[in-house]
Amino acid sequence: MSQAELAQKLGLSQSRLSELENGAGSFSAEQLVLLLQVFNVTVENFAHRRQRSHTDTLQNALARLGAVHLQERSDVLPSEQLTEVADVVRETLIGAESSRLLTALAPVLVQNIDRLNLPKLHAQLVEMGLQRRWGWLLENTLLALHQESAELSRPWALRYRRAALLIENWLAAFRVQSEEPRTADTQPLDIIDSNIRSRSTLDEVMATASDISQRWRIATSVQPADFAVALRAARADT
């Protein structure tokens, strides 16, 4: 495509397009949309590398879905891969580098529990061999909900009860399907914390791990109280 042809599609003069290509100014939002359509690409193709940090993108997605205590970065463009709640939950469980992002899943679950297809998400995580992280998250969230249930306003109380009911039902399904976590020493540990790089560190983390983490064989220093803190912080910021 010639420069003249592109300029015509964008409603610009060729000289103005040449200026823009040389960094003299910027395209309007309407012109950007036209560019995306002309070249059949997404807005992420125009994003600076720093803007596409996976951690930053996850944090923004979590903040938009209910973890409002997380600071949403204005310089990070939304990802088309993280538009659905299930995608955000799955990607956070797979690759979260921060305990703040993992615990932020608690308020996200509360706010979006009726939008989540729990069996489908579970099946996806089974295929990845990460179903124990799912059970671990649900048990921690359920315990945090019970810990935070006192003296709530009526809207929050109803929201918490609804989330707790659906999570309890799903956890019961684990037991019916004989998928309750085994505690045998032969079951490999699922190491979540990125700072665990040696056997000695792993042993130290597991020595202080919560009962839930021990039961699901999840190696992390994250405690149920951390999920309760995330629920409390999300309420405070709404």
- Per-residue pLDDT of 84-129, as tens digits, reads 888 899 989 988 668 999 999 999 999 999 999 888 888 888 888 8
Q: Per-residue confidence at 216, pLDDT binned at 50, 70, 90?
A: very high
Instruction: For residue 47, tell me if it sits in a domain.
Output: no
Q: pTM of the predicted model, to two decimals?
A: 0.74
Mean pLDDT value across the chain: 84
Instruction: For residue 199, tell me if it sits in a domain.
Output: yes
Most confident by average pLDDT, 25-34, 35-44, 164-173? 164-173
Question: What percent of the chain is predicted at pLDDT more than 90?
Answer: 42
Instruction: For residue 49, tell me if it sits in a domain.
Output: no
Instruction: For residue 130, tell me if it sits in a domain.
Output: yes
How many CB atoms within 10 Å of residue 173? 13
Q: Tell me how many domains the chain contains.
A: 2
How large is the average pLDDT for residues 33-45? Answer: 78
pLDDT at 50 over 50: no
Same domain, 93 and 198: yes
pLDDT at 25 over 90: no
The pLDDT value given to residue 102? 94
> What is the CA angle 26-28-32, rounded to 5?
95
For residue 135, give its domain range: 54-236
Same domain, 126 and 27: no
Same domain, 36 and 65: no
Instruction: For residue 111, tell me if it sits in a domain.
Output: yes
Same domain, 16 and 121: no
pLDDT at 49 over 50: no
pLDDT digits (tens, 9 = 90+) for 179-205: 555 555 567 899 999 889 899 999 999
**Greater model confidence, 80 or 33:** 33
- Structure-token match 């809207």, residue found: 155
